[in-house]
Each structure stands twice: as structure tokens, then as C-alpha cells.
Amino acid sequence: MIRLSHVNKSYPNGAVALKDVSFHVARGEFVFLTGHSGAGKSTLLKLLYAEQRPTSGEVRVSGHVVSALRGDAVARLRRRLGIIFQDFRLLEDRTAAENIAFALEVTGARRDTIAARASRVLAQVGLASKSRAYPRELSGGEQQRVALARALVNDPAILLADEPTGNLDERATRGVFQLLRDINAGGTVVVMATHDLDLIRQSTYRTVEMRDGSVVYDSAEEARAAGGR
């Protein structure tokens, strides 16, 4: 589903964000992307949803060479991805249901299907009763669930999560994480950047650790090596 081959990313000011990063994420996988701040996790995710382009190397998502996409092709790629962030990125002047409807409207969904689809995903994240609440009336965990519902409404093949629990307390973190597990169990690839070592320890998912722009550890590689021994 995702393949990075010798990807480098540097900026005009000389800063290097990624150094020769190569890895592959298979269909149905859940991958933790971990490492300190500035290790390159967010940059890597941005390359996946074409917010940035690699300086060299190739990024493939669902068979498309993302680095070569331009204009509306980028928009079409993003409709097949779900993306959530630490700061939720909801529109404050719209209700939970309207935030989700907005994502459908701007991608040209049929009007008569929008309300039903918004209700379905809100129910999926356990917020059916809060559809008319504005973001400021919701807790952090609930806001992240609305963002998650928005990410899921187009039935994405891949969900990219950039520190989705970074602003949440322990209980809300568990709730959101459980939702991500459920989504993954339904067949969606999940790539989650996180600092939260507890979450990583609690689960058996693949972990890719980054440091100074390079992949320094990949649990899948380790398992393969152990298997080959």
C-alpha cells in the first residue's frame, strides 16, 4: 500500500529532514512511527499525503507515485486517505455533523447522501448524540473522534495519524486508540506517528523508529531477521 524507496528530503535552507528512508507497509498493517521531535515523522507523513515532495527518491501510495502527482491528482489521492492531527483541525463555527458534511461537500459528494453518511461515521466513533455540538462544546477526546469520523467518511484505504493522542488525557487516548485499532481491524492501513511509548508497548503492532531523519529501527525487520536465524 505504501512504499518509500531511498527518500531524501532537504530544505532550501540546508536543513535535512529525511535521509535515505526506505520501507514498505503492506495491506492491512498498523504501523507506529516513533522517535523524538524533529526525527522526521511528520515530514514522512506529509510526503505520503503530498503536502510536501521528496528531494529525491520515490514515494508510492496505493500504486501512485505521489511525488509525481500534480494539481487535481493530489486532491483525488487525498480523497482516498484519511488524515488526523494532534490539534484536530476542526472548523470552530460548524457543528460536528457539519464538519463532516463539509468534507463530503467539498469533494463533490451527492447532496442527498451527505447527512446519512455523516451520521453513520459519527455513530461509528460513538458520537451519534453529539452531532449538533460545536467543537468548543466537546472534550479533546471527542473532538479527535469527530476528526476521525471526518477522516473515515470517504472510506479511506489508508489512515494517517500525526500524534493523534498528543493532546489527550489517558482515558481519551485509550478511547481514540481503540477506535484506530477497530478501523485497522476493518482492513484500513493505519500509520500513526506517536511519542507515546505506553501505547506502543500495549500492542504488538509494527514499530518504525526514526532518528535525525533516518529509520533506525523497524520491528518487522527484526522479526524477519529473528525468523531467518
Partner 1 sequence: MRLLFREALLSFRRAPVLSGLSITTIAFSLFTIGLFGLVAINLQQALQGLEERVEVVAFIMRGTPAETIAQASEDIASFPEVQAVNYVTEEQALARARRELVEFRDAYRDLQVNPLPPSLELRLKPGYRDAAHVGDVAERLKGFSFIEDVRYGRDWIQRLDHLRNLTGILGLVIGLVFAAVAMVIIGVTIRLTLLQRAREIHIMRLVGATNWFIRGPFLLEGALKGLLGGLLAVALCYGGYLLFRQNTASFNGIIFFQPFQAATIVGFGVLMGFAGSLLSVGRHLRHMGGRADRRAA
CB of 219 to partner 1, least distance (A): 26
3-class DSSP state for residue 153?
coil
Read off the C-alpha cell for 84: 488526523
* 199 vs 160: CA distance, rounded Å: 17
* 154 vs 102: CA distance, rounded Å: 12
Angle between helices 140-152 and 111-124 (to 10 degrees): 130
- When the beta carbons of 78 and 195 are compared against partner 1, the nearer one is 78
CB of 227 to partner 1, least distance (A): 36
* 160 vs 31: CA distance, rounded Å: 10
- When the beta carbons of 52 and 188 are compared against partner 1, the nearer one is 52
Amino acid letter, 159: L
- When the beta carbons of 6 and 89 are compared against partner 1, the nearer one is 89
- When the beta carbons of 108 and 228 are compared against partner 1, the nearer one is 108
Q: Which residues bind partner 1 (CB under 8 A)?
A: 11-13, 15, 17, 42-43, 46, 49, 51-53, 71-72, 75-79, 81, 83, 89, 91, 93, 102-103, 105-108, 111, 150, 154
- When the beta carbons of 82 and 175 are compared against partner 1, the nearer one is 82
Q: Is residue 131 exposed (0-12), middle (13-18) or buried (19+ Cβ within 10 Å)?
A: buried
CB of 58 to partner 1, least distance (A): 18
CB of 164 to partner 1, least distance (A): 14
CB of 3 to partner 1, least distance (A): 21
Q: Is residue 153 exposed (0-12), middle (13-18) or buried (19+ Cβ within 10 Å)?
A: buried
* Dihedrals phi, psi of 155, to nearest 5 degrees: 50, 65
3-class DSSP state for residue 180?
helix
- When the beta carbons of 160 and 199 are compared against partner 1, the nearer one is 160
CB of 49 to partner 1, least distance (A): 7
